[in-house]
Amino acid sequence: MNGNKRVAVVTGGSRGIGRAVAERLAADGQAVAVAYGSDDTAARETVLAIEKAGGEAVAVRADVADEEAVRALFDAAEHQYGGVDVVVNAAGIMRLSPLAELELDVLDRIHRTNVRGTFVVNREAARRVRSGGAIVNFSTTVTRLSLPAYAAYAASKAAVEAIGPILAKELRGRDITVNAVAPGPTATELFLDGKSEEQVRQIAGLSPMGRLGTPEDIAEVVSSLAGPARWINGQTVYVNGGAA
């Protein structure tokens, strides 16, 4: 492969927004390591879709909260493509419950993936990403909307938002940007699961655009942060069609 090609690691890259991001970065000309948690079939489908479109990709199974697995993920990307320039941490889980009814083991699972996972992936990225690179984490617009039943999830994502500006300063002098993307309601399997058509219509109405976002809407912003948008650093970018 071309030694000048940028290389991206995308966690949560086999489904939903993560897959759209992986496909968009590949279309932008980056080689992509598609990291996934458990769905081998979905990961293979993502890689095949990228290759069919003329891109380069490899699937790597990794638990983002496991430091050894994340280290192996970065090793695989470096072995396959020669280095890492972009890290997009799209892996995350969401469980909804009123706070008074929340089981603490559910809280622990959310925070293990969303908070510890972000720390583990960002720590490895800070050690490996090459000059001129970018780190993009995922938050949520729910931190602004304050919707009932989202307390545990929103709290985990508020922690993600706190990480970026600090890491951006810690990487001073290395020409590496660190930002977070905070999607609004987006038409993914994760979001639509368990919601009635009426609920979906009501939530879509939060945006003056009158619709849900699409994974491609989010991927477009990630593409900019992962490439040309070098003067955006230490920020959370809300991508929600004006919902909040």
Range list of H helices, 7-150: 16-27, 40-52, 67-81, 104-111, 117-128, 142-145
In whole angstroms, give the CA distance from residue 178 to residue 163: 9
Question: DSSP state, 45?
Answer: H
Angle at alpha carbon of residue 110, lines to 243 and 26, rounded to 5°: 65
Whose tokens are 């293990």? That residue is 112
Q: Find, among 200, 213, 199, 201, the residue nearest to 243 by Cα.
A: 213
Output the six-digit token pair for 1. 């492969």
In whole angstroms, give the CA distance from residue 70 to residue 22: 17
In whole angstroms, give the CA distance from residue 34 to residue 140: 22
In whole angstroms, give the CA distance from residue 74 to residue 124: 8
Catalytic residue among 36, 81, 150, 153: 153
SS3 137: strand
In whole angstroms, give the CA distance from residue 206 to residue 220: 21
- Our answer to whether residue 153 is catalytic in this structure is yes
User: Half-sphere exposure (CA, 13 Å, Cβ side) for 121?
Assistant: 36
SS3 233: coil
Catalytic residues: 153
